Amino acid sequence: MHDEHGAVEAEPDGRPPPSADLLALHAPALLHEAQVGLFVLDVVDQRILYANPYFAELVGRSPEELLTIPVLDMVEPEYRDLVATRLHERIAGKPVAPYTVIGRRKDGTNFDAHIAGRRLEVDGRLALVVTITDLSDYNRVLRETQRIQAQKEAAEAAAEAKSRFLAAVNHDLRQPLHAIELISTALRRNLVHPAALRLCDRIDQAATSMTALLDSLLDVYRLDSGALHPNVRAFPAGDLFRDLGSEFGPMARERGLRLRVTHTAKTVVSDPAILHRILANLVNNALRYTRQGSVQIVCRRDAAGVRIEVRDSGPGIARDEHERIFDEFTRGTSSADFPPGTGLGLNIVSRMASALQAPVVLRSEPGRGSVFAIVLPRSPDLATPDADRRADPAPATLSRFNETD
């Protein structure tokens, strides 16, 4: 019920007025406090009759100022024809879907204005009620999301292309490298002149370097692409050590070094293939940068499990280089007099060890050699020490010794 002034009043029996009357009672306050821009537009002169505070703040003008300026002044010039056309269509009673334009504030800054409206009569005059939603933040997030999605798709496409390329490189380069090794072996059988044999040695060294570089590149790819998935299990450390001894014994003999491998029955928990790659890189580095003395592969008990160490009697590494030495393409100053490597070995070691959750620890001083250690969980031994001692003897180039505590 309404009184003579149009105000909503209670029912005669004291009951509250109907919900529709309550809405009419509170509508002005709701529109005034709404967190969306709203204004009423006179369809004759296209001037604003009313604007709520949110719209005034959105366009950076006072409510009184909004009553004196054309509504198109609050739209960027390139959108004014569109807005004028949509307003005329709405005034004519045609359906107009909400649309978005670039709004213009008094200070010249912009916002993304999403516009919707409908006709109604105000004091007997035809008017439009227009709502303006600021989509700037939403569109900013949307654009950033689209940009990130585009970058993600580009990265995935690049990774896929890189994977195909490296697979092709792996296949296409390993075949000729293998052929070079076979040819070098055949030549060595038919040559007796020392100069010719030295040339075969250089061919073998070049093929070995190319194979090592290819292995490093493939390791880096697997680490970068997340394709390295450790398959952790318990296995005898002695089997791994014997493999390393057989693999690097000839290299040690060629360099006049002793390769000493621990005689152990301990069982470790790790990924055998990844751990082999880590230790192979460390042993290869140790042999490369040691001019005289020995390289040792040691297995020790540790409070956290089993500690595997690769020790050498090489030039050592300065303390201020202990962290930097694990960066890509980095060599210690003490290795400057040695033939250059790829600069990837220790970086690969560090990243693979992190994948195993077993970081590498370095202990070294200039002139006193180096010790690279990795600590692994220990599992109950799968073999007895007596059984391990009865294993096949090590190659003549190796020196085997019992495990240490």
Q: In what order do the strands lie in the sheet with 125-134?
A: 48-51, 37-42, 125-134, 110-122, 99-104
The CATH number of the domain holding residue 113 is: 3.30.450.20
Mean pLDDT in residue range 43-67? 89
DSSP 369: -
Give the end of a domain, one of 194, 227, 260.
Answer: 227
Burial track 305-325 (b if 16+ CB lie within 10 A, e otherwise):
bbbbbbbbbbbbbeeebeeeb
**Predicted TM-score (pTM) of this structure:** 0.53
Rounded to 5°, angle at Cα 312 from 310 and 318: 100
| Residue 291 and residue 390 in one domain | yes
Q: 51 exposed, middle or buried (CB, 10 Å; 0-12, 13-18, 19+)?
A: buried
Residues 279 and 317 in one domain: yes
Residue range 199-242, pLDDT digits in tens: 888 888 788 778 777 777 777 777 777 777 888 999 999 999 99
Same domain, 252 and 383: yes
Q: Are 59 and 103 in contact (CB under 8 A)?
A: yes
Residues 277 and 340 occupy one common structural domain = yes
Please report, for the domain that includes residue 369, its CATH number.
Answer: 3.30.565.10
pLDDT at 260: 93
Token pair listed for 111 = 């916002």
pLDDT at 336: 53
For residues 251 and 332, the model is more confident at 251
Q: What is the model's pLDDT at position 109?
A: 94
pLDDT score recorded for residue 374: 93
Shared domain for 242 and 377, answered yes or no, is yes
Residue 20 has a pLDDT of 45
Same domain, yes or no: 128 and 198: no
Q: Which of 371, 238, 359, 374 is nearest to 307 (CA)?
A: 374
Q: Is 395 a domain residue?
A: yes
Tens of pLDDT, residues 134-185: 999 999 999 999 999 999 999 888 878 877 777 777 777 778 888 888 888 8
Q: Which residue has the tokens 């990844």?
A: 274
Asked if residue 11 has pLDDT above 70, the reply is no
Per the CB < 8 A criterion, the answer to whether 115 and 83 are in contact is yes
286: amino acid identity, one letter:
A
Residue 190's CATH number: 1.10.287
At 87-140, the pLDDT tens digits run 889 888 888 899 999 999 999 999 999 999 888 876 777 888 899 999 999 999
Roughly how many angstroms between the first and final C-alpha of the chain, as a whole number? 97
Location of structure tokens 């949110």? 54
pLDDT over 80 at 255, yes or no: yes
| Residue 11 in domain | no
- 129 backbone φψ class: left, alpha, beta (φ>0; ψ -120 to 50): beta
Using the predicted structure, report yes or no on whether residue 2 has a pLDDT greater than 60.
no
| Best CA proximity match to 373, nearest among 385, 358, 361 | 361
268 and 379 part of one domain: yes
**What is the spatial distance between Cα 351 and Cα 358, in angstroms, rounded to a whole number?**
10
Give CA separation, 296 vs 58, 230, 304, 403, in Å.
74, 26, 22, 12
Q: Are residues 71 and 114 in the same domain?
A: yes
144: Cβ contacts below 8 Å, ≥ 6 apart = none
Q: Are residues 212 and 246 in the same domain?
A: no
**Mean model confidence pLDDT for the chain:** 80
Residue that is last in its domain, among 227, 252, 279: 227
Domain containing 209 equals: 160-227
Query: Would residue 7 count as lying in a domain?
Result: no
**Residue 248 clears pLDDT 70, i.e. is over it:** yes
223 lies in the same domain as 237: no
Identify the pLDDT of residue 337.
59
Last residue of a domain, one of 194, 209, 227: 227
| Judgement on whether residues 49 and 195 belong to the same structural domain of the protein | no
Q: Which residue in this structure is represented by tokens 């950076």?
A: 60
Q: How far is CA 69 from CA 72, 77, 106, 324, in A?
A: 9, 15, 11, 66
How many distinct structural domains can be found in the chain? 3
Question: Is the pLDDT reported for residue 292 higher than 70?
Answer: yes
